[in-house]
Each structure stands twice: as structure tokens, then as C-alpha cells.
Amino acid sequence: MKKDLKIFIGISFIIPYLMGFAIYYCKLHEISTSIYPLFQTFMPFLAVIALLYKEDKSIIKVFPFKIYIFTSIVMFVFAIVNIFYPNFDNFSDTIILMSAIAMIIAISTMDKDLKKKLSLNNPNKKSTLLMCLLFIIIYFLRTFLGYVLQGETNEFFKILNLKSLKIFISIFIFSFLNIMPFIGEEYGWRAYLAPRLKEIYGIKKSILMTGFIWGIWHLPLNLFYYSDGVLTSQIYSILVQLVFCIFIGIFLTYSYNKTKSIWAPVMIHYLNNNLALLFVTDLSKDIFSGQHYDLKETLFSIVSSIILFGIFIFSKYIKDEELWEKSVYEKIKES
């Protein structure tokens, strides 16, 4: 394995895996754990910054990167303090909101050539919206089929009301205020890892490897956060995560190559995590924590992910190497 890949994986994995112990401790003592998955999302972006800095020391002067590093440090401090002062993580939302605004302003004022070199260039709005719309269709189709399988079709149609419409609209309106965790992941997986692995191992291996690495990166969360702690539920959670990351990863790579912008995967990742709010009655609860995974739901998730997202493996934006965006690491090395 190339040295840059080892560095990226090391930085992306070490702190999140150590934080797994903090999540476990907080769960045992009924302390809020929501800050830990949030902090973990910052690590892939930081890993890429470290790699770029190794190639070009001036990278550290890029203002959006400075903002991201500062925010990551603050989040790390909050994550540690949360162990000793429960619910201290309430401040994290304010920090992320302020940082998102600052980062958007900083990126918008960057030199165009530098933005393109760092894969932060402005999105093609039409293409990006089309990718988001396509994902929303797939998301609701997958959700609908899940309700049908459980014999609860009527429950699905209950979301078709004014309250859900308001939530749906607010998800879009406030999307730019929530970019920090999503660009944190996508800048690592899509702007660096997938195209970098493609350059070394080819298309097929890169897709499987990126999905597996991304999936196993979630391991502490699958064991101690997402699942309810029951062994079978934890195993199913890991299986669902691995398969989902591999196959939605195909779609995210497709959207990145088609739009030539990181913002499409960022927006799709955001939608994937937040559209679930439409199906929640109590918005004050952490909807991702303590879920019970059973065999039936696991099999459905696996099969539906393979079919609905796997089909994009046949797109020319995946099959044709010439249409792949270059890794941001390669762009910096060539400049």
C-alpha cells in the first residue's frame, strides 16, 4: 500500500476508534453520545489536509482549511470534556453552525484555480440538483418498499402532510448550515480515497476497497452507538453498514464524476442522514442511536442497496476512467 494511503487511513481511523471507548463509557453512564459520531466525521478531511501539507506546505495557509482544523480541535476538546461534564456537547451545534458560515464565505472568496485544484470548485447547480432529486427518488422508493415488506404501507403515506412538507423544505433551506460533517467525510472518501485507489488498483477494486474502508471506519459507531448493544443487532448493524457504504459509494462516486464537484456527494450524504426526520414523531430524540437491527430488515437493506445503488456501476461515469475526477492528492502533486 502506498505511503499516502497508510497516512490517510491511520489519521482517519486512530482517533475515531479510540473514541469508541468514550462512547462505550458514556453509554454505560447514560451520558449523551451524540458529539462522538459528529466529531468522527471531521477526521477524513483532516487526513487529506495532512497529506496535502506533506506535498505543499502552503496548503496550511488556505483559509477554509484553517477553519476546518480549528473547528476539529474545538470538537475534540468538547468530546473529551463531555465525558466529565455530561451534556456539554450542546455547544457543538453552535460551533458547527458558526464554522459552516465562515467556511462557506471563505470558499466563495477563494481563487478559482485554487478551488478547482483543491476540488472545492463551485458546483453546476443544475447537475447537482438533478443528482439530489435522483437520490430523493431512490430514497423514498427504498423506504416505501421497506414499509410494504413490513405490511405497513399506510404508515408510509402518513408522512404526506403539511408538517412533513415543512420539514422537507427546512432540510433543504438549512443544508448549507450543516456542511461541516458531510464535507468532512466526502472530501476524504470521494475527493481523495476513491480516485486515489482507482489510480493504483483500477475501478473495480477501488469501489470495493473504498466502500469497505468507509464501512469499517464506522465500526465503533456500529458497536456502541447505532445498535442497541445486543450482539446480533451489532453484527447486523456492521453488515448493513458495509454493504450500504459499498453501494451508495458507487452512486456518490457517480455523482462526483458527473458533476465534477464535491458538493453533489456532500448534499446527497446530508440528505441521506436528514430525510429520516420525515419519519420521526419525536424530533427531540437522537434517531440514530440505540437502534435494533433484525435479520429481516438487514436482508432488505442489503438487497435494496445492491439493486437501487448498484445499478450505477454500469454508468459511463464509473466504467470510463477518463471521466473520473482526479484525486485532490494527485492534483497537488502535479501542480
What pLDDT was estimated at residue 160?
Answer: 74
Residue type, 37: P
Alpha-carbon gap, residue 129 to 26, rounded angstroms: 39
What pLDDT was estimated at residue 152?
Answer: 83
pLDDT band at 108 (very low <50, low <70, confident <90, very high): very high
pLDDT tens profile 45-104: 999 999 999 999 999 999 999 999 999 999 999 999 999 887 666 678 888 889 999 999
> Residue 227: what are its φ and ψ, rounded to 5°?
-85, 170
What pLDDT was estimated at residue 284?
Answer: 60
SS3 annotation, 240-288:
HHHHHHHHHHHHHHHHHHHHCCCHHHHHHHHHHHHHHHHHCCCCCCCCC
Q: Are 254 and 312 in contact (CB under 8 A)?
A: yes
User: What is the DSSP secondary-structure string of 162-201?
Assistant: HHHHHHHHHHHHTGGGGHHHHHHHHHHIIIIIHHHHHHHH
Alpha-carbon gap, residue 75 to 19, rounded angstroms: 12
What pLDDT was estimated at residue 245?
Answer: 97
The percent of residues above 70 in pLDDT, for the chain, comes to 97
Alpha-carbon gap, residue 179 to 266, rounded angstroms: 7
> Residue 32: what are its φ and ψ, rounded to 5°?
-55, 135
Residue of 68, 321, 314 lying closest to 194 (CA atoms): 321
What pLDDT was estimated at residue 282?
Answer: 65
What pLDDT was estimated at residue 268?
Answer: 96
DSSP SS3 for 161: coil
CB atoms within 10 A of CB 30: 8
- For the chain, the straight-line distance linking the first and the last C-alpha, in angstroms and rounded, comes to 24
What pLDDT was estimated at residue 166?
Answer: 80
pTM: 0.94
pLDDT tens profile 222-270: 999 999 989 999 999 999 999 999 999 999 999 999 999 999 999 999 9
